[in-house]
Structure 1
Amino acid sequence: MSGTHRAADQPQSAGADHPVPEVPAAYGAIEHADPIGPVDWDPAEEAPRPVSQRSPLGSQADGMAAIRAVWERAAETEKRRPAKPGRPQRRREPKRLGPALLGVLVCACLLMFFAWAAAPALWISIGHADQGTVTVTSCKDGFAPSCNGHFATDGWSKDLALTGEVSAADIGTDLPARSTGPDAHSAYVGGTGGLLLRWAPALVLFMVVAMAMVPISGATRLYEGRSGAIGLCWVFAGAVFAAALAFAW
């Protein structure tokens, strides 16, 4: 007999009554170790499971957190960056007490002088003054010429030092003048322009000395309490000017 008839005459296996269903190609082929016997197969168990994806909001939040972390890391790196090679940082030692104290005393004297020179003219220029007449009695020539006179107003009269547009040629004459009050030590003769020239330069020099007192006192060289020391210098300068204004009232 031919090989074809022999293959047809062979008995079928016991599992021929339960054929194995064909698996769709989309789910892949399933290999069975034992082709004999019934096979319970559920296509749903072999179906690919969907992969969970993050929402767009979560992805944006994660991206912003990553950007923030990069910026913070860059800031920390900038703070910890060492100095450039070849340019060593110079550490300034605190100033010695003797030179610092002497400088503060000199600055204090200059501050009082400029404040005293500016305060009366400043009060008169802003309108705090008594109008009156002064009789020039004497004048002195020299490095610092000065004149004296008798100032009289409706309520009071007093001998005062004269400033402004007055000279020895005015001795014995009566001139219009202004003074801050009965407790004043001087009277001004002249217009408003002369008042500005008396208090504005003095006030500018006062500010210059106040700024110079900060490094002269050694406040900028302190390792601890530097801000407090600088503030104390400015408070002292302000107190000097306030005292000069109070005495010139």
Structure 2
Amino acid sequence: MLETSTFWLSDDERARQAATAEPERPSQLGVPPRHRSREPRRPRSGLPSLVALSLIAAFFAWVSAEPFWLAVGHDVKGRATVIQCTGDGIGQRCFGQFATGDGFSRVDRVTLLGVTGDQRARGAVSPARMVNLDGQQAYVGETGTLMQLRWMLGFVLVLLCGLGIAGLTGVRRLESRRARHGALLLSVACPLALLAGFLAAAY
């Protein structure tokens, strides 16, 4: 109403009225309201995600370890002799023998990767490399773009598994910033530790 408008009050009366009035909400004063912290996620909901992503990270670490060492030049050069090839495309499975270039060492049965075309024929001999003679895989051909992409993509996926663990186990729900940062580092460090273990084992 016009009679109750503050237009008719003096400066002193306006000041007294403002002091006795209920304070406005923080959002009305331009101050963002404080967000209520969310409760941490229950262990039984985050544990399956942790286990699943850890297994996925272990797989990518395993398939990336040998390509990484071959890409950086840690290998044993020799020749691979095909014993049998079955399937085609991504379902291809080839087995054979690997012998070092000097002929003094031989691995009787290894999985052959990178076999194409006429190299699939039984008894075909092709240049190949192994990370070490204790391994179970021999790689036919030279280090190319595909080999580089294989280990780089694997490393990236291992890192993404760590970030996924942090997200699905509720790291952002922790109370303090220090706790959130520590949990995030731990989530990423676990898959990277798996990667380091597979790299050491494949060396």
Quickly say closer, same or farther: Cα 1:86–1:126, change in 2 above 3 A: closer
8 Å contact kept, 2:39–2:173: yes
**Which of 195, 206, 221 is residue 173 of structure 2 equivalent to?**
221
In the TM superposition, residue 169 of structure 1 has moved relative to its aligned partner by: 3.2
1:164 aligns with 2:114: yes
Please identify, of 102-111 and 145-154, the stretch whose mean Cα deviation from structure 2 is larger.
145-154
Please identify, of 166-175 and 193-202, the stretch whose mean Cα deviation from structure 2 is larger.
166-175
Quickly say closer, same or farther: Cα 1:109–1:223, change in 2 above 3 A: same
8 Å contact kept, 2:162–2:188: yes
Distance (whole Å) between structure 1 residues aligned to residue 149 and residue 112 of structure 2: 16
In the TM superposition, residue 185 of structure 1 has moved relative to its aligned partner by: 1.7
Distance (whole Å) between structure 2 residues aligned to residue 162 and residue 87 of structure 1: 62
- Unmatched 5+ stretches in structure 1: 1-81
**Which of 79, 82, 102 is residue 136 of structure 1 equivalent to?**
82
Of structures 1 and 2, the one scoring higher in RCO (CA 8 A, sep 6+) is 2
TM-score under structure 2 length normalisation: 0.74
8 Å contact kept, 2:131–2:202: yes
Alignment RMSD: 2.2
1:106 aligns with 2:106: no
Q: Which residue of 1 aligns with 2:99?
A: 152
In the TM superposition, residue 217 of structure 1 has moved relative to its aligned partner by: 2.0
The code of the aligned residue for 1:148 comes to F
Distance (whole Å) between structure 2 residues aligned to residue 169 and residue 240 of structure 1: 34
**Which of 133, 157, 176 is residue 182 of structure 1 equivalent to?**
133
In the TM superposition, residue 198 of structure 1 has moved relative to its aligned partner by: 2.1
Distance (whole Å) between structure 2 residues aligned to residue 140 and residue 238 of structure 1: 35
Distance (whole Å) between structure 1 residues aligned to residue 188 and residue 81 of structure 2: 42
Query: Which structure shows the higher helix fraction?
Result: 2
Quickly say closer, same or farther: Cα 1:180–1:148, change in 2 above 3 A: same
Quickly say closer, same or farther: Cα 1:186–1:222, change in 2 above 3 A: same
8 Å contact kept, 2:129–2:139: yes
Question: What's the % identity of the aligned pairs?
Answer: 33
In the TM superposition, residue 195 of structure 1 has moved relative to its aligned partner by: 1.4
The code of the aligned residue for 1:175 comes to S
Rg larger in structure: 1
8 Å contact kept, 1:147–1:166: no
Distance (whole Å) between structure 2 residues aligned to residue 137 and residue 219 of structure 1: 51
Quickly say closer, same or farther: Cα 1:88–1:220, change in 2 above 3 A: closer
TM-score under structure 1 length normalisation: 0.61
Q: Which residue of 2 aligns with 1:195?
A: 147
8 Å contact kept, 1:162–1:189: yes
Residue 192 of structure 1 aligns to a residue in which SS? Answer: coil
In the TM superposition, residue 128 of structure 1 has moved relative to its aligned partner by: 0.2
Distance (whole Å) between structure 2 residues aligned to residue 246 and residue 170 of structure 1: 34
Quickly say closer, same or farther: Cα 1:92–1:171, change in 2 above 3 A: farther
The code of the aligned residue for 1:163 comes to L
In the TM superposition, residue 85 of structure 1 has moved relative to its aligned partner by: 6.8
In the TM superposition, residue 113 of structure 1 has moved relative to its aligned partner by: 0.6
Aligned length: 168
In the TM superposition, residue 119 of structure 1 has moved relative to its aligned partner by: 0.7
